[in-house]
Chains A and B, each alone.
Chain A
Amino acid sequence: MLETQQLTKKFKDTIAVDDVSLVLRQGESVGLLGPNGAGKSTAIAMISTLMKPSSGDVKLNGKSVLKKPGEMRRVLGVVPQKIALYEELSAYENLKFFGRLYGLSGNKLEQRIDYVLELVGLADRKKELVKNYSGGMQRRVNLAAAMMHEPEVLIMDEPTVGIDPQSRNHLLETIRKLNQDEGMTVLYTSHYMEEVEKLCDRVYIMDHGKVIAEGTKEELKAILSDQETVLIDFDQNYPELFTKLSEIEGVQQATAEEHSLKLIIPKGTRLLAALFHEAERYGAQVVNVNVQTPTLEDVFLRLTGRKLRD
């Protein structure tokens, strides 16, 4: 339905997006995962026709949208990272304006406003000014504004940044409903791994402007299928011990965090004996040892050598 071909954006000497090719099939939910500065927002700006690429193409149903963006703009709903609303107006007035931009009027406009307000759970507070809403409520209106014209594809650029857990859950549940119950195609950008794991069928991982991996969640985790993650908790922080343990033969990745150490090792590696031996030498008490199957976070760590939120 929607694809990008070798999309590239250069700003003077910086390449923000480098040769990115994505595919969104009708009805699927795709995650675009990457740390801050990975190029996700720039890629979205180009897909949504807000910014022209330096090279490459964006196609909707096989047709390029770069010269004629009209059709793309009609089928696309974009939820920006910023809360792009008129805060001195009410939610109802904001939605009325965004609906009018898409040619809605009269009863149809009113019905659509009622529907999206119901969807985001703000029907009973529609007359309140946006500036008086909580951050989470503002995010919900931000989503509702993108939904006014019944878009076929919904692109969301980190829609849950800075909101409380309750609003976040509400928002994620709304997006899940839109995708699964209404068949809306979703491109979801985030650096929150658990959101992408919860919502998306397929995932593209971006770093330094490039797509470094793509596939279903299972396919991506299979990158680490011959490995396992061992999480060891200690009674306190032992920097020297952590360094020693990360040098044990077979350890592929080690990440220390206060009282704990996360190691990625090949399956079948005999680690425990060496672990307890070294712990005793340093007088450290092992509180907990947990062997996990890899998460997308581990995949990202393995591919880039850094954490998503670095």
Chain B
Amino acid sequence: MKAVFLLQWRRFYRKPLLVLAMFGLTVIFVSVTAAGGQSGPQMIPVYADESMNNQQAQTWIERLNGEEQFQFELMPESEARSYVAEGDVSQAVNLLEADYRLLVGREDPARFALDSFLRRIYSEELRLENAEQTTPGIRAEMESALSDPALTLSVESLQGEEDSFQYNGQLQLLFGMTLFFVIYTIMFSLVRIVDEKRTGTWSRMIISPVRKWQMYLGHLGYSFLIGFSQITLIFLLFRFAFGFELGDRFWLLIAIAACYTFSIVALGLLIISLITKPQQLGAVIPIVATGMAMVGGAFWPIELVTNEILLAVSKALPITYGLQALTSVAVYGNGLKAVAIPLLLLLGFGSICMAIAIRLMEWRSAS
């Protein structure tokens, strides 16, 4: 096993480009895209048109700033447009009497969160206004009831007290892109097994005293280590060099990275057991990686997805659980107990994939 494992590092030393490219792409992508993001509430310029007077606009601003997710600032339209045009912010909001418009300068995953937030607040406020027309004073009654509730309900779950979705653009990008790019690193390193079978070096190893499980372990150990190192180094880099706030439990993030890497190594092995031609793998791996990242919440928070089918599919993807666990620890400050289930799911997913993959490969080579 040691010989096979060391050989992979020697080959990496000779051909390091792919791994370095994936590492570099993650760093560039996250640093360029997330540098403009903030870990605190995001400032959103707001302007109102003639349909609304200043008093009304101020009322809306107070209502919108009632929650801490975004910080809305009222300003003249020209100033708001200038913010967007110069790229200081990616979007601004145009308040209308019973609706709103988004002025979008560049694509930003936070747009979905902003849109969802505005829709919720507008919907609540407009319903309340409608109710006031038939029942005057209902607003005051409701506010009074909310400040002195007859019953207090406390909800806790195994996942912690995530009773409301908190969006952290920087960490969403960091985790999403890191877990996305590492899929390429791991899967392309596993393609070596297919390549060895094609060139005949695999057969050479089989007829040596080295056992088959040792051959697999040498390859999988390398793929695991290269993927795990990539995630760890990126987390370290962004924590210490870029000052990203990753919470107080860095060791738990590393443990999550290990479980996620294991599941991706196993998934990669399953894919190469199903598809045996390197050329086909070159096409399949990007499809799998991008598809998983899109559905699993690497490009935008899974909390924003409302399609039931996509949500159901996401439950079968390791990246969903990896991101869920990382966010739970870094954004919500949860501990091991809260991420135990995603971690067990990752390990279980990996074990099942690996068992099927090795059986399939052996069955193929025997037939």
Contacts and interface: CB of A to CB of B under 8 A. Distances in A.
B203 A84 contact: yes
Given A73-B208, A88-B14, A101 B200 contact: no
Interface string A69-107: 010011010101011111111000100011011110000
A48 interface: yes
Interface in B1-37: 2-3, 6-7, 10-11, 14-15
B199 A82 contact: yes
Contacts of B204: 78, 80, 84, 98, 145
Contact of B3 (A50, A76, A85, A101): A101
A85 B198 CA distance: 11
Given A82-B199, A101-B3, A73 B209 contact: yes
Interface in B260-312: none
**What are the 5 closest A-B residue pairs judged by CB atoms, nearest first?**
A84-B200, A100-B3, A82-B200, A101-B208, A88-B14
Interface string A126-155: 000100000000000000010000000000
Contact of B7 (A70, A73, A86): A86
A97 B207 contact: no
Contacts of A103: 209
B233 interface: no
A86 B6 CA distance: 13
Interface of B: 2-3, 6-7, 10-11, 14-15, 199-201, 203-210, 366
B216 to A, nearest CB: 15
A97 B7 contact: yes
A49 interface: yes
B209 A102 contact: yes
A76 B11 CA distance: 27
A52 interface: yes
Nearest to A97: B7
B203 A50 contact: yes
Nearest to A149: B208
B219 to A, nearest CB: 13
6 contacts: A49-B206, A50-B206, A73-B208, A84-B203, A97-B10, A100-B3
Nearest to A52: B366
Given A70-B209, A88-B11, A102-B208, A97 B203 contact: no
A89 B201 CA distance: 13
Contacts of B199: 82-85, 87
A74 B203 contact: no
Given A49-B206, A84-B203, 7 more contacts: A73-B207, A73-B209, A82-B200, A84-B200, A84-B204, A85-B199, A86-B201
